[in-house]
Structure 1
């Protein structure tokens, strides 16, 4: 058994990302340095922004080619949050992200090591209160069956469907597992594609998609939540009990200079959401604000946000990209409150 129950654990894989930029008028350019990647990694950092290292976690599978630079970067966020597994007979999972004008491609370069709840048994990550996973509906069924077969463990489940399985043909498989999902969270394009709706992302269309997904019966007795992440439009949160509500993005279109790279923002949002559920006693609407702030830190640079410890005489605590998450949270709450009052 784990010494301490974790608030948030992701089953997402750790990936070393490589990047390729293709300009039809110029030569192909590849980034020289590999970068930390994987939706699970970004989700875990999104939770780490709010929680100490011993309350979050994920498995990191290291191969014989494991870079020391990446090890040092991970350790900077807190040694206790990572559960390392070494296999010198294989390479670390790698993927190539290809950018061609407005299109983005993603391809695994070697075999993946998939993770299920069984891998957490007997480790410090065992039986977390919130479990996050990114996969197809068929793999989600495997994960949820393992959860159900573990007596006494009833985590909040946050399911993030992978983009290439957000197609109408996958909807029947999704419907089978929805009663076991606490929070279903595709992004706007994924939700519309899954429901065979036109890919014209407006707030009205997103609201329609969320209500349609809710009507299928999310969560036990239909009490689950749908959160559709919609970029600069914000996030739409809906459940049967309270209906739907928009939570605006922290950085608005007028703050375009602050948005450098949106890679991993949605994953980090869900990690922040998972942490927020702890602080808000399970309120998904209020917890969405925490997810929004986590995403705001991820999009400010390429790669993961920078963590440093404030050691001034008058103030202590962690700074992310030089800012305190709590101050951003208070600012977002004030902005929302002012709009409601006006």
Structure 2
């Protein structure tokens, strides 16, 4: 059985939306239920570069699974999804509550969490790169299951859960870091874990990355820290190369191209996992990641693929990669 390049343990979620102004009054804006979940966005970020047969994600499908969402998933390639049907439950749903500039998030149904053991006996088992989103405490359990599989040493891309990026989780994070290949919080999450006060600045991001790397990411191997920083781009530092910034494809000079940043960080990491197939250089792989994120922010929800020519949103990923490579001088 061929190993998949990228498999995510993130969940599939049907997102619902509520929009209010700063005073809590309805804005009149509406949005139909959308495909959501960090794992889903990560899988699509990888799909921008990889064939469906090189990607894997489990989708727990309840009896109420919307047909328009099924059609959208199928448009990306059915081989990348493993649907698990349970007629006794509903599909996992969550509410995205926007009040002014503040975004709240809460689950409306019980969650079905995935672990490496869920990959056993499927075409997704023992992937080359494993992506997971969870608390540092739960990351310890994920890594424990990975180590139980003899002969499997995947590249691990760990994305901490935003609401668990607090100082109290730091001891668990320190325990799991030696087994993590790539640690990637966003800027606010990294600063929250390390008690670095806001506002976000490039200097503080570089400080956080240096501290996290020093705490033992991938100790004895090729450990790296990638701090995702929105329009500022991403700061990358590893045990073998000095830190450097890689700019966002749509940065501060292109604010009109950014419609919705939901899922951009997840897709970034899917693009990163895909990029590692084509290059042995993490810094180069981050260019693939930045391009993946660029397609996510251009609309609400997921981008569209043109199967005839492989373009996304009517534009070529390879063209964007070439453009960003020139701008970044990597």
Q: Same fold (TM over 0.5)?
A: yes
Secondary structure of 2:140's counterpart equals: helix
**Quick one: structure 1 residues 27 and 80, their matched pair in 2 at CA, closer, same or farther if it must change by over 3 Å?**
same
TM-score between the two structures when normalised by the length of structure 1: 0.94
Deviation by residue 1:14-56 (Cα, 9 ceiling, x = unmatched) = 0000001112273365735210000000000000000000000
Q: Does 1:197 align with 2:196?
A: yes
Of 288, 295, 298, which residue of structure 1 is paired with 2:296?
298
Deviation by residue 1:172-192 (Cα, 9 ceiling, x = unmatched) = 010000000000000000000
Distance 2:282 2:223 in 1: 10
Structure 2: where are the runs of 5+ without partners?
A: none
> 2:106 matched to which residue of 1?
107
Distance 1:326 1:264 in 2: 21
Question: RMSD value over aligned CA atoms?
Answer: 1.2
> 1:58 matched to which residue of 2?
57
> 1:313 matched to which residue of 2?
none
Contact kept in structure 2, 1:20 and 1:29, CA below 8 Å: no
> 1:314 matched to which residue of 2?
none
TM-score between the two structures when normalised by the length of structure 2: 0.97
Deviation by residue 1:229-285 (Cα, 9 ceiling, x = unmatched) = 00011100001221201000111222111100000000000000000011003x211
> 1:336 matched to which residue of 2?
328
Secondary structure of 2:254's counterpart equals: helix
Runs of 4+ in 1 over 6 A off after TM superposition: none
Give the C-alpha shift of residue 309 in structure 1. Answer: 2.6
What pairs with 1:154-169 in structure 2 (closer than 5 Å)? 154-169=153-168
Distance 2:251 2:220 in 1: 36
Distance 2:112 2:321 in 1: 36
**Quick one: structure 1 residues 265 and 32, their matched pair in 2 at CA, closer, same or farther if it must change by over 3 Å?**
closer
Distance 2:127 2:29 in 1: 38
Number of equivalences: 329
What pairs with 1:269-308 in structure 2 (closer than 5 Å)? 269-281=268-280, 283-308=281-306
Give the C-alpha shift of residue 138 in structure 1. Answer: 1.3
